[in-house]
Amino acid sequence: MKNLCIIPARGGSKRIPRKNVKSFLGKPMLAYSIETAQETGLFEEIMVSTDDEEIATVARQYGANVPFMRSAETAGDYATTADVLKEVIAEYQKRGIEFDNFCCFYATAPLVQSKDVVSAFELLQQSNFSCVYPVVQFSYPIWRCLDLAKDGTMTRHWPEFENSRSQDLPKEYHDTGTFYWYKTKEWLTGKVKIGGIEVDETTIQDVDTETDWKLAEMKYELMYKK
């Protein structure tokens, strides 16, 4: 059983310039994803897909491989993550290297716990799912959401739930946007059946703005600093 960890990390971040190598509590942001992947003990190869020499240097410093640089086609603003993953898998295949499973692990996920990566992999192996990723419960029942008109008028999107108790409403979840496990063969053929594991809200944080960045640092210090 061979597993590959793919960490996409291009150099063209717009909202937070150079965020993949920006210092996050003393280490480049990218380092946290590499180290968490290493802690799992699951991967024969941990690689960073990048178009940027500085990112490649940081990746190697923290123990990841950069066996090839990302192409111009997958380094642009309109390339999708799927485009990047397909390129990586294809490049390894050209070298005669096959992986049974791979994990797309985003570079801006410093709060992820290695035990959750392991739990998701175990579910992938013990089920007929071809994709497994972490989800978190919405912190407030989405069934009580409101619509706000331009003139300030507010209406309930689902008025039928206005008087329902929170505990009686169905639980709903959203993608954490941190890591995704796939069975390689099924993913390449488009046969994707998705499963999920629930993780704690403290282990996730979007990192798209400076405010997000500060919140992530606060969470990290609260959860992991001794």
- Please report, for the domain that includes residue 103, its CATH number: 3.90.550.10
Is there a domain that residue 166 lies in? no
Provide the 3-class DSSP secondary structure of residue 5: strand
Q: What is the pLDDT of residue 226?
A: 55
Residues of the chain with pLDDT > 70: what percent? 100
Per-residue pLDDT reduced to its tens digit, 83-129: 999 999 999 999 999 999 999 999 999 999 999 999 999 999 999 99
Is there a domain that residue 153 lies in? no
- Taking the alpha carbons at both ends of the chain, their separation in whole angstroms is 36
User: Computed over its alpha carbons, how large is the radius of gyration of the chain?
Assistant: 19
Provide the 3-class DSSP secondary structure of residue 181: strand
Q: Say whether pLDDT at 69 is over 70.
A: yes
Domain of residue 220, residue span = 3-136+173-224
Q: What is the pLDDT of residue 223?
A: 86
Residue 170 has what DSSP assignment?
Answer: P
Instruction: Answer for the pair 92, 99: CB distance below 8 angstroms, yes or no.
Output: yes
Both structure tokens of 24: 């996050």
Is there a domain that residue 145 lies in? no
Is there a domain that residue 215 lies in? yes
Instruction: Answer for the pair 67, 88: CB distance below 8 angstroms, yes or no.
Output: no
Is there a domain that residue 69 lies in? yes
Is there a domain that residue 59 lies in? yes
Q: Say whether pLDDT at 6 is over 60.
A: yes
Report the domain count for the chain: 1
Is there a domain that residue 22 lies in? yes
Please name the amino acid found at residue 222: L
**How would residue 12 be classed by pLDDT, with cut points 50, 70 and 90?**
confident
Mean model confidence pLDDT for the chain:
95
Per-residue pLDDT reduced to its tens digit, 126-151: 999 999 999 999 989 999 999 999 99
The whole-angstrom separation of Cα 94 and Cα 74 is 18
Is there a domain that residue 162 lies in? no
